[in-house]
Amino acid sequence: LITVKQRDDILKLQNRPCKPPDEAHKPPENSERLVKGLAIAHDAHYTSANNIPGQTLESDGDQVLDRMGQVAQICGGLLLQITCDHLYAFLSKTCDMDPDIPAVVIRGALAEKGVVFGLASDDRIERFIRSPIADSTFFIVAQGVPPSPGKDSKIEFFFNTDYLKTGGMDDFGNIDFKRRRPRPLVEKGTVLAEKIAGSTPQPGKDVYGNTIKAIAGMDDLCRVGGGAVLSEDGQKVLATVRGTPMITLAGSIVVHEESVVKGDIDNETEPVEFDGNIRVCGSIKSGARVCGVDISALEVDNGTVEANGDLTVTRGINAARVYARGNVYANYITNSEIVCMGDVFVKKEIVDSTIECSGACSIITGMLVSSRVFAKMGLMARSIGSGGTAGPSRIRVGHDAFAARELEKNSAGTMQVEEAIHNLGKKKNTILRQAAGIKKQMTELEGVKERLLVKCRKIESRRARSPGDRESLHSHLTGLKKNLKAAETKMQMCAAQIKDLVKQAAKVDRQFSGPAASQKGLADEKKNLLRWSEHTPGKARVVVDGEIVSGTVFVGLHSRFVPDTELCHVRITERPVKCEDQEQSEVIYQMQVDTL
Residue 416 CB contacts under 8 Å (≥ 6 apart), including other chains? none
Q: Are 352 and 335 in contact (CB under 8 A)?
A: yes
Burial class (CB in 10 A: 0-12, 13-18, 19+), 67: buried
pLDDT above 50: residue 39: no
Q: Give the per-residue pLDDT at 17.
A: 47
CA distance 205 to 145: 5
Of the pLDDT bands very low, low, confident and very high (cuts 50, 70, 90), residue 251 is confident
Q: State the Rg of the chain over Cα.
A: 39
Residue among 307, 385, 294, 371 at smallest CA distance from 333: 371
> Rounded mean pLDDT of 432-442?
91
User: For 143-171, b where at least 16 C-beta lie within 10 A, e where not — what string?
Assistant: bbbbbbebeebebeeebeeebbbbbbbee
Q: Which amino acid is at 374?
A: F
- Chain-centroid distance of CA 140 in Å reads 43
Lowest mean pLDDT among 114-123, 298-307, 407-416, 452-461: 452-461
Q: Give the per-residue pLDDT at 554.
A: 94
Q: Which amino acid is at 274?
A: F
Q: Are 12 and 66 in contact (CB under 8 A)?
A: no
pLDDT above 50: residue 14: no
pLDDT above 80: residue 582: no
Q: Give the per-residue pLDDT at 477.
A: 75
* Beta strands 78-83; 344-351: pairing state: unpaired
The domain segmentation of the chain, as residue ranges, is 4-143, 148-200+213-246, 254-403+548-564, 421-535
pLDDT tens per residue across span 79-97: 888 988 899 998 888 887 8
pLDDT tens per residue across span 294-323: 999 999 999 999 999 899 999 999 999 999
Q: Are 545 and 596 in contact (CB under 8 A)?
A: yes
Burial class (CB in 10 A: 0-12, 13-18, 19+), 132: exposed
Q: Give the per-residue pLDDT at 226.
A: 87
Of the pLDDT bands very low, low, confident and very high (cuts 50, 70, 90), residue 59 is very low
pLDDT tens per residue across span 113-152: 899 999 998 888 888 888 876 655 788 899 999 999 888 8
Sign of CA dihedral 492, 493, 498, 499: positive
Q: Give the per-residue pLDDT at 390.
A: 59
Q: Give the per-residue pLDDT at 327.
A: 92
Residue among 269, 266, 292 at smallest CA distance from 279: 292
Q: Are 247 and 266 in contact (CB under 8 A)?
A: no
CA distance 137 to 122: 19
Q: Give the per-residue pLDDT at 484.
A: 84
CA distance 72 to 445: 74
Q: Give the per-residue pLDDT at 66.
A: 55
HSE toward the beta carbon, residue 139, CA cutoff 13 A: 25
Lowest mean pLDDT among 31-35, 178-182, 357-361: 31-35
Question: Residue 362: in which H helix or E strand, if any?
Answer: strand 361-369
Q: Are 334 and 356 in contact (CB under 8 A)?
A: no
Q: Are 391 and 372 in contact (CB under 8 A)?
A: no
Orientation angle between helical segments 122-130 and 103-112, nearest 10 degrees:
110
Q: Give the per-residue pLDDT at 482.
A: 85
Mean pLDDT of the residues in the chain: 81
DSSP code for 468: G
Three-state SS at 561: strand
Of the pLDDT bands very low, low, confident and very high (cuts 50, 70, 90), residue 289 is very high
CA distance 461 to 369: 106
Of the chain, the percentage scoring pLDDT greater than 70 comes to 81
Task: List, as one string, the DSSP characters of 279-345.
Answer: EESSEE-TT-EEEESSEEESEEES-EEEESS-EEESSEEES-EEEESS-EEEEEEES-EEEESS-EE
CA distance 128 to 141: 10
The total of other beta-carbon atoms located within 10 Å of residue 257's CB is 15
Of the pLDDT bands very low, low, confident and very high (cuts 50, 70, 90), residue 173 is very low
Burial class (CB in 10 A: 0-12, 13-18, 19+), 333: buried
* Beta strands 304-307; 289-292: pairing state: parallel
Query: pTM score, two decimals?
Result: 0.64
Q: Give the per-residue pLDDT at 36.
A: 30
Of the pLDDT bands very low, low, confident and very high (cuts 50, 70, 90), residue 487 is confident
pLDDT tens per residue across span 491-533: 899 999 999 999 999 999 999 888 988 898 889 888 888 888 8
Of the pLDDT bands very low, low, confident and very high (cuts 50, 70, 90), residue 9 is low
Residue among 53, 64, 56, 246 at smallest CA distance from 133: 56
Q: Are 310 and 165 in contact (CB under 8 A)?
A: no
